[in-house]
Each structure stands twice: as C-alpha cells, then as structure tokens.
Amino acid sequence: MNNQQLSPFLKGMLLLGLLFLYIPIVSLIVYSFNDSKLVTVWGGFSTKWYASLFQNEQIISAVELSVQIALASATAAVTLGTIAGFVLARFKRFPGSSLFAGMMTAPMVMPEVITGLSMLLLFISMQQLIGVPAERGFFTIWVGHTTLCMAYVAVVVRSRLLEIDQSLEDAAMDLGARPLKIFFVITLPLVAQAIASGFLLSVTLSLDDLVMTAFLSGPGSTTLPQVIFSKVRLGLNPEINALASITVLVVGVLVIVANYLMLNSQRKRERAMAAAMRESSAG
Amino acid sequence: MVDAAKQSASEKPYLSIANIVKKFGDTTAVDGVTLDIQRKEIFALLGSSGCGKSTLLRMLAGMERPTSGQIILDGQDITKLAPYDRPINMMFQSYALFPHMSVADNIAFGLKQDKMPKGEIDARVAEMLDLVQMRKYANRKPYQLSGGQQQRVALARSLAKRPKLLLLDEPLGALDKKLRQQTQLELVNTLESVGVTCIMVTHDQEEAMTMATRIGIMSEGQLLQVGTPAEIYDYPNCRFTAEFIGDTNLFTGPVVVDEPDRVEIEAAELGGRIWIDHGITGPKGMQVWASIRPEDVRVDRDPVAAGPNAAKGSVAEIAYFGSYSVYHVKLGSGKVLKAMVPVNRWHEANLEPPTWGDQVYVSWRADMPVVLTR
C-alpha cells in the first residue's frame, strides 16, 4: 500500500461496498426494536420481541442443541484435526501420504450436499445392518460436523507446525524427552493458538451449518439455523431480528476481545524485546 | 590446549567414528568419515555449506541414522542408540530455546527428563546460571533476551546434563560479527573450565582457528585433513584445504627434478620453475600443485636475480588494510599473484610504495611453497 490519496471514484466505490454489506445488518438490528408485527413497517420503539424470544421454547431449545453440537463437534474436530495436522506436517513420506493429505482436505472442497447425502445413506444402511445409530439426531449431526470441521483444524494446525522451528523438537529429544512427551510438552503448547482458533472456527462452522444438518437431523433434533430457516419460510417475524441482533452482539464482543488480547500480548512482547536489546547494548 | 591434545594422543580415543556413511536416496551426504577424538578436546569440523558436516553432527546426536559405519563413545557403541538415550547434548544453531518456558525451566528441562530430585535440579540450574553469568535472568522468557544472552542460555542448557560429548552447531552463527569475536574466547573459556569433550561445526575458519584444538576440513562428504590450526595452515595436504584456510597462490606443473633435498616444478603460469628445498615422493613428470601464501611473497621494485621462485609482473590492484597491503601482481602469463606486504617494508628501505601499473619483481624462499598432489 502506498500513501497516495484515494481518488473520489475509488472512495465512492468503497463507501458503496461497505453500505451494501452493512446496511442490511444495521436495519436488521434497528427493526428488532420495532413495535409493529410487520418486519418492514416501523411502528415505534419496543423491546417486546426480545422478551418474547426468551419465552419461545422452540428457539431456546434449538439454541441449546446448536451450542451443544457446536461444542461437541469442535472438541472432537480439534482432537482429530490436531493429530492429522501433526502427521501431515511432521511425517514427511509414508506410503499413501499424498492420498491421506487429499482425503483430509476433501470435506472442505466437497459440496456439502454430497457429503450430507452420502452420510445419510451410510447411517441408514448402518441402522439396517447393525442397528446403530438407532435414530438420526444429536449423534449423527455431531459426526457430520466433526468430519467437516476436522479438515479445517488440520489445515490450520499443519500450517502453524510448518512455521515452528523443528529444531525445538530436536532439542527436546536431545535433552532426553521421548516423542510422545515432546508432543505434549513442546509441540502442543506451541500450536495452542492455532488449536484455539481451529476450535473457534469449528464452533462457527457447526453453529451455522444448515445443509449437512438438514440431511442428518431427525424429528426430535432441530438446530437453530433450521428453526430460523423454517420461520423465514412461514413469514418473517421480528423475533428473528432480535435473535440475529443478539448473535451479532455476541460475535462482535468476542472478536473485539480476541483482537484486544492478541494486540496486547504482541505489544508486551515487542516492548520486552526492545528492552533486552537496550540492555545488551548498554552492558 | 594443543599440549593437552597431544598428551592424550597415546590413550585410547574417547570418541571413535569409524567409516561412517550417510546416503539420502542417491546422494551421499557423508562418505566414509573416520575420526578419533580425545577426551576434553575441542574439535572443529570446518567446511562450506552442504559439505556434510551438519549431517555428521546430527548422526552423532542420533537425529540421523548412519547408512553404515560405527560410532563408539567412551567404550560404548552408540551407533543405533536413540537421541534421548545418548549421553550427548547439542547446542543448536538457532539455539532452539523453548519459547514458552523461562530460562531456568529451559535449563532444567533435560534434568527433569532424567527424573532428578527437585532439590538437585535447582542446585544444578543455579550452578549453570552462574557458569554463564545469567543468574539474574532466570525467570525471563527467551524472547526477553538479546542474541548473546540466548546463546549463553543455550550453552547452559546443553551442559546441564553433564554430557560426555557436547555438540555445537555453528555456535556463534546467529550473532553479529563484533559480538562473535568477543564471544569466541568466552565460550572456549567456559568449555575448558567445564572440561567437556566438544565437537563443533562451523563454516567460519576464523572461529575454528580461534576455538578448536584440532580442525577437520570437510568437503563433499569427505574428511580431507585433520590437524591443529597451525598444521592445517602451514602444511595443507590438498588444494581444497590450501584455498579454504587463508588465502594462497596456486601454480601447477609437472615435476622436472625430484632429488631427496629438492624438487623443481615447471610452472607455465609463472614462466619459470618453482624450487622447493625438500623432496616429495612421487614419479617424475607427475602433475602437482605448489601453494604459496601471500605473506611469503616478497615484492621488490628492483630486479632480483633471475632463476626459480621469481617472476616479473605489474601491479594490477592494491588493497590497503592498514598495517599491510595486498598487491595483486599480474604476471606475463596473465595469472594474478597475491602478495601481502607490510606497510613498513617500503619505509625501512626508503622507497616509494609501488602503485598501479608499476613494474615489480616477486620472489619467495625455497622453504615457503607447499607441494600438493591432489
């Protein structure tokens, strides 16, 4: 980037682009405080939709289920994805290594419709053959989401591992630590940040997944995106606006806090490095 | 240092590397290296990048398994021992300090792996911190330290387990030049006070000459020459060593006279003969090289007696280094000969120093050239 002034044309395009992205979200939030039952007509300020949202048991239970599935699949995805990422980064050549790498990333590029459909068929035939899973619901959605999220975690962890100086692991081994111990004491703490972001990414992916969930959910298990989608089809309701506003608030706060923490630790680190340099040149 | 190495030369070698070969696919990284190291020796493996010195070091540490050959340390065959079972520790080029641990925890890491009691660990860590004068930095994280301090912590960590053999991979490679010179002697003093047997790998000949009791020159996976710094500089056994250590002038030609007390080489590039006052063993007519160090070349303005070991040329280039200058003298054949001339050489003779384009005469004593057969 250079310091040249943006031309008025470019400025205008930038503004238009930002407006296009954010006006819908702002209007969504504004209309969540609408007194009127109609989504598009302003009828005065009110918070009644928030009140009714918290009394809507269908939505509350959908939120609960979605959060449970998101946390469960993120946990499983982080566990499996970290191991897969480690293998991809550290085990350079083994028979079938490129096949493994391809299969690991396949869920990311495969259309979700295909993954969802094939899993549905798998679960149905498994049920007929061995009776497990007995019904579609939490378990089947969890398996589907884990498969998808695991691929993302593996990619994030792998790229972080490739950044880390491998001589750190060599040094630990040289000092007498065995491979499994090195993984837990040296490697894992160094990729902790990547694992954390993989976890958050998985939670996000799982929370708003609709396509795969549609294939894998059963009658008793409706996730939040499914509820919203079905409500939209039956006609919009300011309750959904309220729900969306809360989501925007929660996500916004999380992003700001995460950014603040990262910036803070980076600044602290830079200050400490500068101090060390000053000290050594003085002494 | 040299005395200690010579004294123990009669003993059985402490570390014995026997015909080690390492192949990566079709390429041979280390090609049959055999080397004996005595107790408390500081040995430097010197070579340019890709010569196999780091691979050899990694095989000693156990990070690589030799394709063939044997390594025996203090009577124990360690060729197939895993890195974590070897009584050997290494200081890495990047220092490889664990970024999420404090200085003290870094030093204690190896001791904890040995399940040493906590009290003993604390005592040893304190001892190591004192050794490298880093006591007041014990609770800092590695990124809060300067490069020189990190190097000292890395050294303390690799010495903490009292290894039988310490490996140093480009120990000062990450430091800037000024700091490096100061740290060289500090490092040698520390290593000698601990009395650890030590093998270091470096591409910096000055570092090897300053720090090591003996040096091994490596090229293309082979160990070309082993000797004390003085032996390697004064008596190189091949062209690679002669050119790699210090600067030299090489002339080639057939042996025309080979007597017990002298050898004469017909050097076409010199336009005359090179006369050496000791014999070599080799057939007459054999193609050999003569290496003449720039500091052994004498430059005169007046003609010297015609004959061997002398030539006429013109000054093509002068590089001024303060107390001495290096003259690049272009000979009749077009070959450029380098001569290192002390500044007071001209003052003492009351002469104007020669300048660009001046005609000069170069010569050297018959005991100066070294004959190289490969």
Instruction: Tell me the count of A-B CB pairs closer than 8 A.
Output: 73
| CATH code of residue A110 | 1.10.3720.10
Q: B353 burial class (0-12, 13-18, 19+ CB within 10 angstroms)?
A: middle
d(CA B170, CA B178): 16
Which residues of chain A are within 8 Å of residue B96 when distances are taken between CB atoms? 165, 167-168, 170-171
Q: Distance between CA A188 and CA B361 in Å, rounded?
A: 69
User: Quick one: average pLDDT of A159-171?
Assistant: 90
Q: Which residues in chain A have Cβ-Cβ distances shorter than 8 Å to B83?
A: 170, 173-174
In a domain, A200, yes or no: yes
Stronger pLDDT, B57 or A279, i.e. the higher one: B57
Backbone angles phi, psi at A246, to 5 degrees: -65, -40
Q: Which residues of A touch B98 (CB under 8 A)?
A: 168, 171-172, 186
In the block, tokens 């250079």 appear at A2
Q: How many domains does chain A have?
A: 1
Task: Report yes or no on A177 lying in a domain.
Answer: yes
* Neighboring chain B residues of A173 at a CB cutoff of 8 Å: 63, 83-84
Q: Which structure tokens are listed for B336?
A: 């450029």
Chain A residue closest to B114 (CA)? A176
Residue B344, both tokens: 């007071």
Per-residue pLDDT at A1: 47
Question: What tokens does A123 get?
Answer: 């679960």
Window 165-184 of A: residues touching B by CB (8 A cutoff) are: 165, 167-168, 170-178, 181
Q: How far is A260 from chain B (nearest CA, A)?
A: 21
Which residues 183-202 in chain A show a CB within 8 A of chain B? 186, 189-190
pLDDT at residue B233, as a whole number: 87
Q: Is A112 within the bounds of a domain?
A: yes
Q: What is the pLDDT, as a whole number, of residue B1? A: 42
Residues of chain A in contact with residue B157, where contact means CB-CB under 8 angstroms, are: 175
Flag the least confident range among A16-30, A173-187, B81-95, B261-275: B261-275
DSSP B9: G
State the DSSP string of B228-275.
Answer: -HHHHHHS-SSHHHHHHSS--EEEEEEEEEEETTEEEEEETTTTEEEE
Least confident segment among A86-90, A168-172, B9-13, B67-71: B9-13
Q: B144 vs A171: CB contact, 8 Å cut-off? A: no
Provide the shortest C-alpha distance from residue B96 to chain A (in Å).
5
Q: Which of A171, A189, A279 sits opposite B92 (nearest CB)?
A: A171
Q: Whole-angstrom Cα distance, residue B151 to residue B157?
A: 10
- Supply the DSSP string of B40-85, one letter for each residue: T-EEEEE--TTSSHHHHHHHHHTSS--SEEEEEETTEE-TT--GGG
Which domain covers residue A173, as residue numbers? Answer: 57-235
pTM, 2 dp: 0.78
Q: What is the pLDDT of residue B2?
A: 45
Residues of B with CB under 8 A from a CB of A: 61-63, 83-84, 88-90, 92-94, 96, 98-100, 109-110, 113-114, 141, 143-149, 157-158, 161
User: In Å, how far is A176's CA from the nearest CA of chain B?
Assistant: 4
Beta bridge partners, B264, equal: B257, B275
Helix residue spans in B160-235 (DSSP H) = 177-194, 205-211, 229-234
Per-residue pLDDT of chain B (374 residues; tens, 9 = 90+): 444 444 444 567 888 888 888 888 888 888 888 889 898 899 999 888 888 888 889 999 998 888 998 998 888 888 888 899 999 999 998 899 999 999 999 999 999 998 889 999 999 999 999 998 888 898 999 988 888 889 999 999 999 999 999 999 988 887 888 888 888 888 888 988 888 999 999 988 888 888 889 999 888 888 888 889 888 888 888 888 888 888 888 888 888 777 777 788 887 777 778 888 877 666 777 888 888 888 888 888 777 777 778 888 888 888 888 888 888 888 878 888 888 888 887 777 777 788 888 888 888 887 888 888 77
In a domain, A225, yes or no: yes
CB contact under 8 A, B98 and A172: yes
Do the domain assignments include residue A12? no
* Cα B214 from Cα B44, distance rounded (Å): 6
B307, exposed or middle or buried, with CB in 10 Å at 0-12, 13-18, 19+? exposed
| A216 within some domain | yes
Contact: A171, B88; criterion CB under 8 Å: no
Put simply, whether A108 touches B (Cβ < 8 Å) is no
Which residue type is seen at A49?
W
pLDDT reported for residue A282: 54
Q: Between chains, do A275 and B144 touch, taking CB under 8 Å as contact?
A: yes
The answer to the question of residue A214 being in a domain is: yes
SS3 label, residue A221: coil
Cβ of A174 within 8 Å of Cβ of B149? The answer is no
Whether A4 is in a domain gets the answer no
8 Å CB contact of B100 and A189:
yes
Q: Which of the four pLDDT bands, split at 50, 70 and 90, describes residue A44?
A: confident
ipTM of the modeled complex: 0.79
Look at residue A72 and tell me whether its pLDDT is greater than 90: yes
Q: Give the model's confidence band at A283: pLDDT under 50 very low, under 70 low, under 90 confident, else very high.
A: very low
pLDDT of residue A71: 95
CA terminus-to-terminus distance, chain A: 39
Across the range A37-46, mean pLDDT stands at 81
Residue A2: per-residue pLDDT: 53
